Structure formats: structure tokens, C-alpha cells
Amino acid sequence: MFPAVGGRELCHSTSSEMTLTPQVPLKVGVLGATGTVGQRFILLLSSHPFFQLHALGASSRSAGMAYAKAVRWKQVSPIPENARDLVVKTCVPQEFAECAIVFSGLDADVAGDIEAAFRAADLAVFSNAKNFRREPAVPLIVPLVNTSHLSMVQYQRSQLSLQKGFIVTNANCSTTGLVIPLAALEKAFGPIDTCIVTTMQAISGAGYPGVPSFDIFDNIVPHIGGEEEKIEWEAAKILGGISEDGKSFDLRASAPLNVSASCNRVPVLEGHTECVSVRFAKRPPPSVEDVIKSLRSFSCEAQQVGCPSAPKEVIFVHEEVDRPQPRLDRDYQKGAGVNVGRIRPCPVLDIKFVVLSNNVAIGAATSSIINAEYAVLTGVVSH
């Protein structure tokens, strides 16, 4: 086991444990299938080694139509053949009763009631929406950081008298890019007590049609509603631990993490860039060389149990002085890891660096899929 921070084991090796690879494909469904996140789910799931697209859900105006007719496709690859002719369903549990897993790409305006209904129907829901991230018994998981929080599913089920159903959420896209290098640094050097982050977030993070062209061309918008608060709160839940009785998250109560975020929308299509400065609780702080080594060597449980969508490298560290860059680096490893560069001393805190994450991959659908893979391979989802 690696050292814990706030009661959380940052990563532990499971290479010697038996994983439960499905012998037959597991049927899965996608809610919000016609939206931009739903489209990403469908692309990733269409060729998955053990998930099989079975049911697609969208609004009542799309229900009853073949998916290819219902969707306004906005991806660079064509609609997968195994999704084109699937008939779109309404987002009600009975239409997804045969699914072992349901992925939610629903907009937050409607996700809450729908996801709760699916959980109540004893279905396993992996959500990209924000609605349940603050619920006390719902894990908020970045799959390259805190898959151990899936242990809270057992308590969630017991509270609601469920056998199979639960909700697991992945984090806000900008939070995801931040906490991955923070987890690596805390694993190596102990708690970080202060983090200042300035984000430059791609327009795809606002969905489609997103930010009006008149607002974003030749411009930077220095406000994204609710984004700063999400980063500042979510980081503590993700990087914190679970109480000894397994009934709550400690939110870093024993080792507080103070995060100050400033979020900006920039005219980039995909890829969130974040400028980060951190201070370590332990003195003296690590050297730049030690920080680089710790980032490069960081690994996670999702890799160790063999999640097929997990990246080979959790963190790719650039040596070039002008990297990472969204256009050049966002699709490395299909956007499943993060890219870090410009690691250097900070004259105010201890260390500063730049991190780039693909907001529509590891920042969205890819995270949910790796979370589900891990749940299957470790028996949280039975098959």
C-alpha cells in the first residue's frame, strides 16, 4: 500500500488479485445519447471489448426514431454502424431493464430525477452530470486517482435497500485535469495544503451549440458559471478519504486542501489548459527534479487491474518549454491521460506547472467508462 492522505490510499497494486473479466459482452445503455457527451459515449462504446451498446435514450421528440435520424452528429468519426439503427428510447428505467450498466450524458437540468429513477429501479448508473456529486453516499471518482472510493457503493445500496443499483459520478472536466497531478504529488511527498489554479477552458466544455461565436471569437471570457466552486469543492472529496465506518467522505478534514480557482473560456475547440501552483505541508518542499520523477512514475489501480480504456501513462511529462498545447497534445493516448509541462519553482508557493487534459475524453465520457470497467473487473458490478 502507498501512504495515505486524509485516510485515502492514493493507489495500491492489485496486480496479484484476480480480476473478473466478463466472458460475454455486458449490455449497456446511454442516456442523453443525442447530446455531445452522449455521442462520445457511443463512439467509445461501439468498439469496446466487453461492453455492448444495447439501449439509447433521449428526449421524447427523438424517441421512436433510428439513432442516425435522431442525432445531429458532431464527431469527426462517422456514427458507428452498431448504433445507427438502434431505436431511441425515452429515458425511463423499463426501457433499459436488460442493461448491466447505464451511462448518463444527460444535461444537469434533467439528470437528477432521471438518474435517481434508474437507481431506484436497481440499475447501475455512471454519470457525467453534476447533480449527485455532493450527495454524501455517492462516489465522485476520477478513475486515475480514487477508484478506491467505489467501496462506498455498498453503503449507498444499503441506505436505499438496493441489490444492484447505485450512482457513481465522475468529476467536473477541469477538476479532473487538476487532481491527477495533485494525486501523484501527494503520493510522493505528502499533503498539499494550498493550490492556486487558473484555467483556460475549451468551448466544447459548454456543450453544443455552446458559447456564441460573437462572445468567443477574438476574446477570452473570464467567467464560467459555477466552475470555480466546483473545482474548489470537488478536489477535497476526490483527494480525501473515507471514514473508518465506510459511511462518509472526510473531505480532507485532517489535512485541509485550500484551492483557489480562476476559470476562463478561451477560443480552443477541445482541451483544458490549467496553470497550477502548489505548496506542500512538509518542509522543505521537493525539488523540481523529484517532482518530475514522481509525475512520470505515477500509476493507478485502473491500469493495474487491466481497464481497457486506461492510458498507458497516467501523466506524460513534456521537456519542451512550450508544451503542453491543446492542438498538439489533447489526443495523445486518445485523451485518456493528462499532459504536464513547464515544471519549475514557484516564488510564492513551492512548485508550479501546466497541465492539459482532454475535456471531452478523460474529462467526460472516458472517465465514466473507465469507472465502469473498474467496477466490473473488481466485482462491484456483477456479471
Which one of the listed residues 54, 149, 272, 318 is annotated catalytic?
A: 272
Percent of the chain exceeding pLDDT 90 equals 92
- How does pLDDT run across 109-118, given as a tens digit for each residue? 999 999 999 9
**Mean pLDDT, residues 288-313:** 98
* Whether residue 223 lies in the annotated active site: no
pLDDT reported for residue 306: 97
Q: Which residue has the higher pLDDT, 383 or 367?
A: 367
As to burial, measured by CB atoms within 10 angstroms (0-12 exposed, 13-18 middle, 19+ buried), residue 220 is exposed
* Position 2 pLDDT exceeds 80: no
From 11, 173, 195, 307, the catalytic residue: 173
Question: Given this model, what pLDDT does residue 19 score?
Answer: 74
Residue 46 has pLDDT above 80, yes or no: yes
Q: How far apart are CA 182 and CA 258, in angstroms?
A: 12
Cis before 209 (ω within 30):
yes
Greatest pairwise CA separation for the chain in angstroms: 63
Does the pLDDT value for residue 276 go beyond 60? yes
Q: Give the containing element (helix H, strand E) for 303.
A: helix 301-304
Stretch 48-71: mean pLDDT: 97
Amino acid at 299: S
Span 167-208, pLDDT tens digits? 999 999 999 999 999 999 999 999 999 999 999 999 999 998
Determine contact, residues 120/167, Cβ cutoff 8 Å. Answer: no
Nearest to residue 150, comparing CAs of 309, 383, 373?
A: 373
Number of C-beta neighbours around residue 330 at 10 A: 23
Cell of 324: 503542453
Q: What local confidence, expressed as pLDDT, does residue 21 receive?
A: 86
Check residue 383 and give its pLDDT: 77
Whether pLDDT at 16 is above 60: no
Please give the Cα distance from 103 to 41 (Å, whole number). Answer: 8
- Distance CA(197)–CA(160), nearest Å, equals 38
Residue by residue, what is the 3-state secondary structure of 268-294? Answer: CCCCEEEEEEEEECCCCCCCHHHHHHH
* Pairwise CA distance, residues 350 & 338, whole Å: 21
Does residue 54 carry a catalytic annotation? no
pLDDT tens digits, one per residue of 321-349: 999 999 999 999 999 999 999 999 999 99
Q: How far is CA 140 from CA 210, 213, 250, in A?
A: 25, 33, 13
Cα(132)–Cα(315) distance, rounded to whole angstroms?
A: 28
**Nearest CA among 303, 314, 299 for reference residue 355:** 314
Q: pLDDT band for position 97 (50/70/90)?
A: very high
pLDDT of amino acid 18: 56
- Enter the pTM of the model: 0.94
Q: Averaged over 24-52, what is the pLDDT?
A: 97
In this predicted structure, the answer to whether residue 13 has a pLDDT above a threshold of 90 is no
